[in-house]
């Protein structure tokens, strides 16, 4: 995908050009958080007051060229994902060589994610059966990284002739907030309905909740709360969804009995 490669290279050049004035790890993390905050603040009115404060706290650390660079990175990532579904940020993160070996942040190559998603979902008939009368299928990713597995799943759902923007809902968790910011940005730009959580999938503790524009604009909190799912049906997941929810989310929205469609 040449045009996608070009935009990815442009992002790498922007970090190279500005990396000497700032710590590269911090620069990348702050850039991801700012982009995630800008997207969230355009749709998530409940979280906006605190997130506005956080936005200005981060921006205040940088001079004008750096802030302009963040906007350019946002534009390049948007255009890269416009060119096709892929783990654009996971690729950039790895190319910048800032992945954290201690936290095991080696993201799965996208071609492997595609193969795994295909095996998980099966063909168009299986996908349609999963969606069934309820009209959607839910996926759970308990260690999402930048979101490669979810993006590949969306691609496979689309290849089955199904609009993932209407018929797939994702809950994704990562213990590392920077991974969550990356996943959130990619899901938001691809218009994947998703609830992305900073949390520990083993202890089920949660710290932050990020709802994509597709989740909020599609009324997914109500849609999920209104539809009970029979045990053992309509799922793609490995672990139960963490049970602590933000106040504005109906309790049933992020957990339902027997909802499992395994992504890894």
Ligand X SMILES: C[S@@+](CC[C@H](N)C(=O)[O-])C[C@H]1O[C@@H](n2cnc3c(N)ncnc32)[C@H](O)[C@@H]1O
Which residues form the interface with ligand X (CB under 6 A)? 103-108, 142-145, 148-149, 173-176, 179, 200-202, 264
Residue nearer to ligand X on the CB measure, 143 or 188: 143
Residue nearer to ligand X on the CB measure, 62 or 187: 187
> What is the nearest approach in angstroms of ligand X to the Cβ of residue 256?
20
- Joined tokens for residue 188: 């938001």
Asked if residue 164 lies in contact with residue 261, where contact means CB atoms within 8 angstroms, the answer is no
Q: Whole-angstrom Cα distance, residue 251 to residue 198?
A: 18
> What is the nearest approach in angstroms of ligand X to the Cβ of residue 143?
3
Name the residue with the smallest CB distance to ligand X.
145
Residue nearer to ligand X on the CB measure, 75 or 202: 202
Residue nearer to ligand X on the CB measure, 180 or 229: 180
DSSP string spanning 127-143?
HHHHHTTTT-EEEEETT
Residue nearer to ligand X on the CB measure, 20 or 101: 101
Q: Whole-angstrom Cα distance, residue 159 to residue 48?
A: 35
Beta strands in 42-141 (DSSP E): 137-141
> What is the nearest approach in angstroms of ligand X to the Cβ of residue 172?
9
Q: At 203, which helix (H) or strand (E)?
A: none
Asked if residue 213 lies in contact with residue 191, where contact means CB atoms within 8 angstroms, the answer is yes
Q: Whole-angstrom Cα distance, residue 182 to residue 31?
A: 10
> What is the nearest approach in angstroms of ligand X to the Cβ of residue 138?
17
Nearest by Cα to 231 from 248, 214, 215, 255? 255
> What is the nearest approach in angstroms of ligand X to the Cβ of residue 134?
26
Residue nearer to ligand X on the CB measure, 55 or 107: 107
> What is the nearest approach in angstroms of ligand X to the Cβ of residue 197?
9
Asked if residue 261 lies in contact with residue 138, where contact means CB atoms within 8 angstroms, the answer is yes
């Amino acid at each position: 995908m040449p045009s996608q490669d070009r935009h990815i290279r442009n992002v790498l050049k922007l970090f190279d050009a500005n990396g000497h004035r700032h710590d590269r790890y911090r620069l990348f993390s702050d850039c991801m958080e700012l982009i995630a905050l800008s997207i969230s603040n355009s749709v998530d009115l409940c979280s906006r007051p605190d997130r506005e404060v956080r936005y200005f706290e981060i921006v205040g650390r940088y001079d004008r060229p750096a802030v302009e660079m963040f906007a350019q990175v946002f534009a390049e990532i948007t255009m890269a994902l416009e060119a096709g579904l892929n783990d654009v940020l996971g690729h950039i993160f790895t190319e910048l060589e800032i992945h954290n070996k201690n936290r095991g942040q080696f993201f799965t190559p996208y071609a492997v994610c595609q193969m795994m998603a295909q095996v998980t979902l099966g063909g168009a008939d299986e996908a349609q059966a999963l969606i069934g009368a309820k009209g959607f299928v839910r996926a759970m990713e308990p260690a999402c990284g930048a979101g490669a597995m979810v993006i590949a799943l969306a691609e496979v759902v689309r290849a089955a002739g199904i609009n993932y923007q209407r018929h797939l809902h994702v809950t994704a968790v990562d213990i590392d907030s920077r991974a969550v910011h990356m996943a959130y940005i990619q899901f938001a730009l691809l218009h994947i309905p998703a609830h992305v959580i900073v949390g520990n999938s083993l202890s089920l503790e949660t710290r932050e909740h990020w709802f994509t524009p597709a989740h909020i604009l599609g009324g997914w909190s109500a849609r999920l709360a209104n539809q009970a799912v029979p045990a053992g049906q309509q799922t793609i997941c490995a672990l139960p969804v963490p049970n602590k929810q933000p106040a504005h989310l109906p309790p049933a929205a992020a957990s339902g009995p027997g909802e499992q469609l395994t992504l890894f």
